[in-house]
Amino acid sequence: MHPAPSVIIFTTLSGLGFGLLFFLGLGVPDVSGWVAFVFFLIAYALSVGGLMASTFHLGHPERAWKAFTQWRSSWLSREGWCAVIALIVMGLYALGVVFAGQRWSALGLLGAAFSLATVFTTSMIYTQLKTIPRWNMALTPAMFLSFSLAGGALLAGQTTVSIILLVVAATIQALYWWRGDTALARSGTDIGTATGLGSRGDVRAFEPPHTGTNYLLREFVHVVGRKHAEKLRIISFVLAFMAPVLFLLLPFSHAFAAVAVLSHIAGVATSRWLFFAQAEHVVGLYYGKR
């Protein structure tokens, strides 16, 4: 799949933002007034900024409001609803915490639930696609949720919880890569089933439909950078999990915490780049690519 920057920015930042909103909704850290204002500002900047970035890849962003109509069948529509509900509920909760000195905990819990639901619905947009076996796994939502919670805990300044959640996320990431690498082969889809000719012998793509490229090849048959995938996995793993855990184990300082957060964001973004760039869409089989 083509790793579009808008979608990588969106899933990375809004995952972190909604993760932080989840913890704020639970009342962690227990802050109020201007300190709380800064926490909420960071959470909203990340989540809303990410959502705005996601509209950049649309052909007609001015019609994006129509995406709220099909929540009965479409995960993308459900994501839109969850995000808007989470942001409104958490906005009301934030008003109480920042300006009224009140913690309306029922509202916070509701907002926290919708914040996680937003991340889950985002992950289901990818997970539902049978056409991309690497995404069509239960590990995909597990990965998105664990990343969001680990990043949220990190931003919320929860040292112990962060370390635990980072280790959990790292484990899920490793499992995702391990299972993902064989997902296409295990799906049973190959050029033989794609053409229906597999029972007759070895099928080879002899000639593509056009000499030039097309939308399908640009969008679904991204192979650039695959050769560096192993190195990028190591870089991503070190930045997203190992370095932050190390910095959190050191005696606490705000500088170390900031480095841990930045390292984590860079690592998650790299992981998301790989999430798209390494995903094999079965349409590539028709072009003899895979």
Partner 1 sequence: MTQLPQSTDRKMGLVIDLDTCVGCHACVISCKGWNTENYGAPLSDQDAYGADPSGTFLNRVHSYEVQPAGGHAQLIHFPKSCLHCEDAPCVTVCPTGASYKRVEDGIVLVNESDCIGCGLCAWSCPYGARELDAAEGVMKKCTLCVDRIYNENLPEVDRVPSCVRTCPAGARHFGDLGDPNSDVSKLVAEREGMDLMHEMGTKPVNKYLPPRPKDQIEEQIDILAPLLAPVAEEPKGFLGWLDKALEKL
Q: Provide the binding-site residues for partner 1, judged by CB under 8 A.
A: 1, 57-61, 63-64, 66-67, 69-70, 72-77, 80, 125, 128-132, 187-189, 191, 193-197, 200-210, 212-216, 219-220, 281-283, 286-287
Give the amino acid at 111. Answer: G
Helix axes 139-155, 105-127, angle to 10 degrees: 140
* Shortest CB 181 distance to partner 1, Å: 20
Of 44 and 287, CB closest to partner 1: 287
* Shortest CB 183 distance to partner 1, Å: 14
Rounded to whole angstroms, how far apart are CA atoms 144 and 124?
10
Of 11 and 236, CB closest to partner 1: 11
* Shortest CB 91 distance to partner 1, Å: 23
Of 64 and 262, CB closest to partner 1: 64
Of 125 and 240, CB closest to partner 1: 125
Residues 6 or more apart in contact with residue 31 via CB below 8 angstroms: 39, 97
Of 34 and 65, CB closest to partner 1: 65
Q: Most distant CA pair in the chain: distance in Å?
A: 74
SS3 221: coil
* Shortest CB 187 distance to partner 1, Å: 8
DSSP, residue by residue, 38-91: HHHHHHHHHHHHHHHHHGGG-S-GGGGGGGGS-TTT-HHHHHHHHHHHHHHHHH
